[in-house]
């Protein structure tokens, strides 16, 4: 079994979850079950899929869950952009950069595993 805590992608994504929760605390109450919830679920989905993939025995399953983590990172990147445009958070270059960094590292991991086959 793989240890997700040793993966840079997991470490970055785990920090991103914390930042998303902090950022969404100040969102309007009427977004609690809308964008706030969506962003939090997308952030948690990244780390959860990495962990679940690490627990899988086959390389194909591992890649499948890393793909889902990457997709969630892309989803979150859009949601951060939307929240900024809606005025729910200040132009948060740092949070956007964190999203992009997580997606980039995940993509690199996925590509390296695919080329290793």
Least-confidence region, from 61-70, 79-88, 100-109: 79-88
Q: Does 104 score more than 90 pLDDT?
A: yes
Q: What is the pLDDT of residue 48?
A: 99
The model's pTM = 0.93
Q: Could you tell me the residue range of the domain that residue 26 belongs to? A: 4-116
**At 38, which CATH number?**
1.20.1440.60
- Alpha-carbon distance of 36 to 53, in angstroms, equals 26
For residue range 61-81, list pLDDT tens digits in order: 999 999 999 999 999 999 999
How many independent structural domains does the chain possess? 1
Q: Does 56 score more than 70 pLDDT?
A: yes
Q: What is the pLDDT of residue 52?
A: 98
């Amino acid at each position: 079994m793989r240890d997700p805590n040793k993966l840079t992608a997991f470490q970055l994504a785990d920090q991103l979850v914390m930042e998303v929760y902090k950022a969404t605390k100040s969102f309007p109450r009427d977004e609690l079950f809308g964008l706030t919830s969506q962003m939090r679920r997308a952030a948690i989905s990244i780390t959860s899929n990495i962990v679940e993939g690490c627990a899988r025995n086959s390389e194909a399953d591992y890649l499948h869950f890393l793909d889902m983590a990457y997709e969630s990172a892309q989803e979150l990147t859009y949601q951060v952009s939307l929240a900024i445009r809606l005025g729910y958070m200040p132009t948060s270059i740092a949070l956007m950069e964190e999203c992009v960094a997580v997606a980039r590292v995940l993509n690199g991991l996925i590509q390296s595993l695919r080329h290793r086959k």
